[in-house]
Structure 1
Amino acid sequence: MRPLWPPKVDILMTVLFAVAVFTMPIWLQPFGAAYPDLMQRFAIFGIFAIGFNILFGLTGYLSFGHAAFLGVGSYAAVWSFKLLSLNIVPAILLSIGIAGLFALAIGYVSLRRSGIYFAILTLAFAQMCYNLAYSVLTPITNGETGLRVLRDDPRVLDALVTGTSEVAVPRASFFGIEMSGMTGFWTCAVCLLIAFYIALRITRSPFGMMLRGIKSNQTRMNYIGFNTRPYTLVAFVVSGMYAGLAGALLAVVDPLAGAERMQWTASGEVVLMTILGGAGTLLGPFLGAVLIKYFENIFSALSDSTLFQAFSFLPDTAREVVVTIVSPFVGEGWHLTLGVLFMLVVIFLPGGLTEGFRRIARALRGGSGKKESSQ
């Protein structure tokens, strides 16, 4: 039996996605976003959103607690840097594994309910984790100060290999290559590419089709004899592992883990990323992550003086009017711009930005077709 989606199509899509990701320093230049720290965040939160989409986009289960796995991944990575090695490989593997086990425990309980009850359960678990990390488990998390990598940490594996665990400046590395600047971005980009291809294969697989069936009508599937709970649990665990990977990469580029990464606002942010880009699509969550992080880092930095310079080509009176209208939407008011954009997408493009791109592509194909037929 021939597969519904040939692997060559998946490979081609992955190659095109890889080209787009690895050329980010070029095509982001005109938008003022081609600096390493921001591109790292594009890649990391793209992984977070792609993983969340495996649960929400494919099964329809809306989790408001995925920030818990992001935080667990960060803490696990920092402890790996402190106890084992500054090498990122054991840190990433440990973060993915611990986040997966954590997701298994939370998912086993939360998936006994569905709909709004499932969402509230996940939110409750995330807030419990946040409060534990912030106040109760301070010997492990260092509370509100956050967990940091120190010069005199034991680092057993590094001590075995080099004979000493002390370093002048403790920085994460990949077999001696420090994860800073563009090197950190390339590492995050490779992880994003791998995460995207795995999500692509999951979506195309019979398992992915089963998840789509659950989203379409879970009750009917139960009636015809399918036990859907193991499938939703696996999707929840895989999604949590993606969040753990994103949390590990946050610690890789900045060896610090804090309880704020577990707040409910972080969980809400990944929901916005997925819906804004297009839930259930492959590229949508990444687009949503890029857009939100762009607003958060670029729009929030715009000031009235910047706007006056940008609209300097206008007459003085018109420039003052335009700046007065635009200024509430930038700087500290960037959330207002994001809120307006989110409302427009939900009202006019329920399928997210990817639906808008599809409509544009269909219009262009239709227009070219009519032009050819008229000639």
Structure 2
Amino acid sequence: MPIWLMPFGAAYPGLLQKFAIYAIFAIGFNILFGLTGYLSFGHAAFLGVGSYTAVWSFKLLTMDVLPAILFAVVISGFFALAIGYLSLRRSGIYFSILTLAFAQMSYNLAYSVLTPITNGETSLQLTRQDPRVLDSMLSARGEGLPTAGLFGHSFSGFEGFYFCAFVLLIAFFVAQKIFASPFGMMLRGIKSNQTRMNYTGFDTKPYALTAFVISGMYAGLAGALLAVTDPLAGAERMQWTASGEVVLMTILGGVGTLVGPVIGAWLIKYFENIFSAFNESTLHRFFDFLPAPVADPVVTVASLFVGEGWQLTLGLLFVLVVMFLPGGIMEGVRRISATFRRHSAAPPNPATQAQPAE
């Protein structure tokens, strides 16, 4: 990715880390939404819980990333178990509203009531006074703030991205096994017709709850990796906008597909970080091949879709995908590949075709 994304201006560690982390977030959300059809508007709560847990692991125990990730996944799983147990008593829009309500409750708790744990609006951050018990036992305390690492080696530059990318590959492999397993077939049955499955004797609630917990653990893993790359945790990661963002990622790439949510996450983060940085001078350099009387109005119109207006471009892209590719970008890929297969297929030989009986 640092090589083939260089022509697109996206080959720097911070953005590549976001590509990997939010791809994990979208893959986990797709296990719930893509397989069972349950649309959650509250998955950002698990993202925030994972971040807070990882930062507390850094503050209390060690700057090694493995304990932080482990604790974040486990705590997020228990949190998802509690919310999922209550939310899955309803289905459809009522389930979505319940998850949104729980997420907003979590956001407000983190922002105000639980300030001793979350540090409120100033975010939970590392300090030099943090105990870091395990690190203090193994080495002397340094002067500045420590950085996250693996087995004593601190991440720097692209190392943090490669670690996140390695975790993404593992997360994708696990999701692939879930999709191809009998458990995944049960989840598809829930999405297809949950009432019919109940009538045939299957208790679908444990399967849906398990999918919800797995999805929440993926979100907690993504939150932990956000804390690994930037050791702070704030309540803004639990806002409803973050939950809506992962829904857009999944729908844009392709609900129920393996690769689609990854592509959707990459596109949205690319628009957010690259298009938002464009300005009129950038557009003038891009359209300098046009005559001046033509270039100026073109730049004026194009400037509405970049910079602060990057969300307008994203919104138009989302509208086009929903209207013409309801299955997301992966549906477009399937259509293109099917067209190529039809053109490359050899015409049938009339001599070898079966003749109708007289």
**For the superposition of Structure 1 and Structure 2, which TM-score range results when normalised by the shorter chain?**
over 0.9
Gaps of 5+ in 1: 1-23
- Cα shift readout 1:104-162 (whole Å, capped 9, x = no counterpart): 00000000000000000000000000000001100000000000011221011112222
Residue 339 (structure 2) aligned to one of 357, 363, 374: 363
Task: Indicate if the aligned counterparts of 1:49 and 1:289 stay in contact, CA closer than 8 A.
Answer: yes
Residue 81 (structure 2) aligned to one of 104, 111, 117: 104
Give the letter for the 1:155 counterpart.
R
Residue 228 (structure 2) aligned to one of 228, 252, 273: 252
- 1:135 aligns with 112
Q: CA deviation at 1:330?
A: 0.6
Aligned residues: 350
- 1:282 aligns with 258
- 1:74 aligns with 51
- 2:173 aligns with 197
Q: Is the aligned partner of 1:210 residue 2:186?
A: yes
Residue 177 (structure 1) aligned to one of 153, 177, 184: 153
Q: Summarize the Cα distance change of 1:165–1:90 in structure 2 as closer, same or farther, 3 Å threshold.
A: farther
Q: CA deviation at 1:86?
A: 0.4
Q: CA deviation at 1:365?
A: 1.3
Task: Indicate if the aligned counterparts of 1:133 and 1:259 stay in contact, CA closer than 8 A.
Answer: yes
Q: Is the aligned partner of 1:160 residue 2:137?
A: yes
Give the letter for the 2:213 counterpart.
V
TM-score, structure 1 as length reference:
0.92
Aligned counterparts of 2:305 and 2:79: Cα–Cα separation in 1? 39
Aligned counterparts of 1:334 and 1:34: Cα–Cα separation in 2? 20
- Cα shift readout 1:318-372 (whole Å, capped 9, x = no counterpart): 1112112211111100110011100111111011000101111111111122589
User: Which residues of 2 match residues 52-67 of structure 1 at below 5 A?
Assistant: 52-67=29-44
Task: Indicate if the aligned counterparts of 1:65 and 1:122 stay in contact, CA closer than 8 A.
Answer: yes
Aligned counterparts of 1:203 and 1:167: Cα–Cα separation in 2? 48
Aligned counterparts of 1:41 and 1:216: Cα–Cα separation in 2? 33
Gaps of 5+ in 2: 350-358
Give the letter for the 1:90 counterpart.
P
Task: Indicate if the aligned counterparts of 2:126 and 2:145 stay in contact, CA closer than 8 A.
Answer: no
Aligned counterparts of 2:189 and 2:165: Cα–Cα separation in 1? 32
Task: Indicate if the aligned counterparts of 1:152 and 1:165 stay in contact, CA closer than 8 A.
Answer: no
Runs of 4+ in structure 1 deviating by more than 4 angstroms, as ranges, are 370-373
Q: Is the aligned partner of 1:317 residue 2:258?
A: no
Residue 240 (structure 2) aligned to one of 242, 247, 264: 264
Give the letter for the 1:105 counterpart.
A
Task: Indicate if the aligned counterparts of 1:152 and 1:166 stay in contact, CA closer than 8 A.
Answer: no
Aligned counterparts of 1:101 and 1:73: Cα–Cα separation in 2? 11
- 1:116 aligns with 93
Give the letter for the 2:110 counterpart.
A
Residue 340 (structure 1) aligned to one of 316, 329, 334: 316
For the residue of structure 2 that corresponds to 1:25, the secondary structure is coil
Aligned counterparts of 2:82 and 2:341: Cα–Cα separation in 1? 49
Aligned counterparts of 1:216 and 1:179: Cα–Cα separation in 2? 45
- 1:238 aligns with 214
If you compute each CA radius of gyration, which structure gives the higher value, 1 or 2? 2
- Fraction of identical pairs, as percent: 71
Supply the RMSD in Å over aligned alpha carbons: 1.3
- Cα shift readout 1:188-227 (whole Å, capped 9, x = no counterpart): 0000000000000000000000000000000000011000
Give the letter for the 1:81 counterpart.
F
- 2:199 aligns with 223
- 2:126 aligns with 149
Aligned counterparts of 2:129 and 2:143: Cα–Cα separation in 1? 8
Aligned counterparts of 1:328 and 1:217: Cα–Cα separation in 2? 44
Between 260-269 and 24-33, report the one with greater CA deviation: 24-33
Task: Indicate if the aligned counterparts of 1:276 and 1:352 stay in contact, CA closer than 8 A.
Answer: yes
Aligned counterparts of 1:140 and 1:193: Cα–Cα separation in 2? 32
For the residue of structure 1 that corresponds to 2:134, the secondary structure is helix
Aligned counterparts of 2:141 and 2:219: Cα–Cα separation in 1? 29
TM-score, structure 2 as length reference:
0.96
Q: Is the aligned partner of 1:44 residue 2:21?
A: yes
Q: CA deviation at 1:248?
A: 0.2
Residue 162 (structure 2) aligned to one of 186, 194, 202: 186
